[in-house]
Amino acid sequence: MTDKQYITGSCSILGNEVIKNGSTVFRQQEASVQTFLASVYGYTGANYPRFYKMDNLCKLGWLATEILLAQTFDAKAYAPEEIGLVFSNRSSSLDTDIKYYDTVKTMASPALFVYTLPNIVMGEICIRHQFKGENDFFIFDDFNAVFIHDYVTHLFNSGALKACICGWVELLDDAYRACLYLVEARQNNSALPFTIENINQIYQKTHG
């Protein structure tokens, strides 16, 4: 027997705009990726100096998670081991890989090297929120709702997780897009059933 899961919140960041649960909560005109992400950080009101050291992919995923969970998620309802993350993207950590490669020509940067894996973004989020559950980062050509749905459903049904932050965190040069959603085994007022159709709808609603 399988239990039902629900999407209890979402956050998308793209096109210099932040959208939480379908509503725009922050927008900035004519900004570079770096400037925009710094502005979103200011919007969150967070005081987390470690943020400045992250690469852009980590900043993007970290910010989307920060906004997704704010006033939405009751982490105390779960053990740290019951909260996991399943992310995906197209370009892996290529944005930082290229920057790191440039430093290797003169003197390799340790600070860049540590971000030359895509799953580091999940590590940064876990450090911030003390999550200790399953972490997976998949590389696909495009957003893949079917795979993520089936994989996360299995994690819930096998008892591995009771809450999971899922989605797409893609960044390469000036192009970026985050679309994260929170999956839980319990509902809130605005919960949607965790279905492939609803995952695609959340992603397509913010298809810039």
Residues at the site binding other proteins, with contacts judged by CB under 8 A: 49, 52-53, 107-111, 114
What is the b/e burial string over 73-102, where b = at least 16 CB atoms within 10 angstroms of the residue's CB? beeeebeeebbbbbbbbbbbbbbbbebbee
Phi, psi of 114 (to 5 degrees): -65, -15
CB of residue 123 vs other proteins: minimum separation in angstroms? Answer: 13
Cβ closer to other proteins: 103 or 144?
103
CB of residue 101 vs other proteins: minimum separation in angstroms? Answer: 16
CB of residue 23 vs other proteins: minimum separation in angstroms? Answer: 30
Look up residue 131 and give its amino acid. F
Sign of the Cα pseudo-torsion (120, 125, 130, 132, in order):
negative
Do 92 and 118 touch, CB atoms closer than 8 A?
A: yes
Q: How long a stretch of residues is the chain?
A: 208
CB of residue 109 vs other proteins: minimum separation in angstroms? Answer: 7
Cβ closer to other proteins: 25 or 46?
46
Closest CA to 131 of 51, 62, 75: 75
Cβ closer to other proteins: 125 or 164?
125
Cβ closer to other proteins: 52 or 159?
52
CB of residue 52 vs other proteins: minimum separation in angstroms? Answer: 4
Cβ closer to other proteins: 111 or 146?
111
